[in-house]
Amino acid sequence: MIERDSVLVRSGDRIEHLLFPLSGAIATIMELPNGQTVATAILGHEGAVGLTSALGASRSPTTAVVRISGAALQISPAHFLAAQHRSPAITSMVQVFTRSLLMQLQHVAACNALHSVEARLARWLLHIHDRANGSDLLPLTQETLSELLGVRRTTVTHVVSTMRASRALKSNRRGQLEIDRPRLEAVACECYKVMSRRIDRIVSHGAVGLVHGLRRGAPPARLGAE
64 within 8 A of 7, measured Cβ to Cβ: yes
Torsion angle of the four alpha carbons 8, 13, 15, 17, in this order, in degrees rounded to the nearest 10 = -30
Q: Return d(Cα 125, Cα 52) in angstroms, integer.
A: 26
Q: How far is the CB of 186 from Zn ion (least distance, A)?
A: 14
Nearer to Zn ion, 121 or 191 (CB): 191
Nearer to Zn ion, 45 or 198 (CB): 198
Q: Of 1-9, 21-29, 46-54, 114-122, which segment contacts Zn ion by CB under 5 A?
A: 114-122
Torsion angle of the four alpha carbons 201, 150, 48, 213, in this order, in degrees rounded to the nearest 10 = 20
Q: Return d(Cα 190, Cα 198) in angstroms, integer.
A: 12
Q: Which of 68, 126, 191, 199 binds Zn ion (CB under 5 A)?
A: 191
Q: Return d(Cα 216, Cα 157) in angstroms, integer.
A: 55
Nearer to Zn ion, 26 or 187 (CB): 187
Q: How far is the CB of 188 from Zn ion (least distance, A)?
A: 8
Q: Of 2-10, 168-176, 181-189, 207-215, which segment contacts Zn ion by CB under 5 A?
A: 181-189
Nearer to Zn ion, 140 or 191 (CB): 191
Residues that bind Zn ion (CB under 5 A): 111, 115, 189, 191
